[in-house]
Amino acid sequence: MRPAEQLEALLQSAVAAGASDLHLVAGLSPYLRVQGALAPRAEDPPLEAETLASLVDVLVGAQGRSGLARHGTYDGAWSGAGARFRFNVARRQGGLSVALRRLEDRFRSLEELGLPSELHELTELGDGLVVVAGPTGSGKSTTLATLIDRINRERAAHVITIEDPIEYLHRPQRALINQCQVGLDVDSFDAALVAALRQDPDVILVGEVRELNTIRTAITAAETGHLVLTTVHAGDCVSAVERLIAVFPEAEQQGIRRQLGFVLRAVIAQHLVSADGTRFEGAARQRVLVSEVLRVNAAVANLVAQGKPNQIYSVMETGGAFGNRTLESELARLWREGWLSERTALGLARNPQTVKDQHRLARGTRRSTGRTL
């Protein structure tokens, strides 16, 4: 079997099993992650090093081989088995390993993702910065793709995406969409972002902001009349704000706080966790999205500018009508509705006692009004 055919067969097996991830390592059978659980396919023989190298050649091509040789790792995207995959190839102990993640084959609604439908309002903004935060594998790219799809269907706008790699392909509908890939079309996120500002954009998606120049340019773009959507690795909304600021030298941070307070419109923090609540007893494991939402109003903007992150939590706790939701309130809801067990809900919380209190209060309210869960 030729390498391209063998790769297609491996991807087909992953799709047939409903796997979110496929891992290939020399000397081991392929591993699949299904509903969050990772296990080898016992029916498949271990991959030989030469076989894996030939599969990598198919994935990365000539340009990828040179990048892999220089940096020891390479990211890309691949279409096969009727699906699209994001992949990473890395060197390990003189050999290679490959991780492929299956991407959604359609754009889901915010409700399907487990996010409030009110966040559609963000796609109507004329300018500002919207940040999606979370760890690797938490669905940040999927959330951004959903927002861009909404813009594509609803707005006559020019959308530029800067990604590494391009994960979701958007065909222009009402919007004109240009997608470029770092390392293939452009040298870096910052260079692409600077160039994008000369291309008459209305909306710019920056796949991830990781270093000072990219963050600075993204803030400038949001200041100058563009809607900028991006992601950052952070566990919650306030940590995401602080992470953006902490990249800058201390002497610049006060000025950046003022700028960020002016342009920031919303932060969405999310985690994908295994659902282990009462409604899944004896059923196949699933994953559920746990999210936190910070909508920025004048009060929050002022707290960001003044460097008072702890007070932002208080605004979020009392700002449900404005669209805010805290991690604790969401964990209490998921526990109450049987999506998560008590142990998991409390284990994920910043303040477990708050989750207990909100869970008890909500259950008491429902009993007193005669409502059922």
Hey, where are the domains in the chain? 3-103, 110-325
Supply the pLDDT for residue 368: 37
Determine contact, residues 209/186, Cβ cutoff 8 Å: no
Supply the pLDDT for residue 259: 97
* Alpha carbons 220 and 211: distance in angstroms, whole number: 15
Supply the pLDDT for residue 191: 94
Q: For residue 271, how many other CB atoms are within 10 A of its CB?
A: 22
Q: How many CA atoms lie within 13 A of 105 on its CB side?
A: 9
In 235-349, beta strands by DSSP E? 264-275, 286-295
Fold of 110-325: Rossmann fold (3.40.50)
| DSSP strand pairing (227-232 vs 264-275) | unpaired
Nearest CA-CA partner of 332 in 277, 286, 287, 295: 277
For residues 80, 81, 82 and 87, what is the CA-based torsion angle, rounded to 10 degrees? -40
In 165-305, beta strands by DSSP E? 176-181, 203-206, 227-232, 264-275, 286-295
pLDDT truncated to tens, each residue of the chain (373 aa)? Answer: 899 999 999 999 999 999 999 999 999 999 999 877 899 998 889 999 999 999 999 998 877 787 788 888 888 889 999 999 999 999 888 789 999 999 887 899 999 999 999 999 999 999 999 999 999 889 999 999 999 999 999 999 999 999 988 989 999 999 999 999 988 888 899 999 999 999 999 999 999 998 999 999 999 999 999 999 999 999 999 999 999 999 999 999 999 999 999 999 999 999 999 888 887 765 555 789 999 999 999 999 999 999 999 899 989 988 777 889 999 999 999 999 999 999 999 999 999 999 999 998 876 655 433 333 2
Supply the pLDDT for residue 65: 80
Packed helices 49-71 and 3-16: angle between N→C axes, nearest 10 degrees: 100
* Alpha carbons 84 and 11: distance in angstroms, whole number: 10
Whether 3-103 shares its CATH topology with 110-325 is answered: no
Whole-model pTM: value is: 0.86
CATH number for domain 3-103, candidates 3.40.50.880, 3.30.450.90, 3.30.9.10, 1.20.1050.10: 3.30.450.90
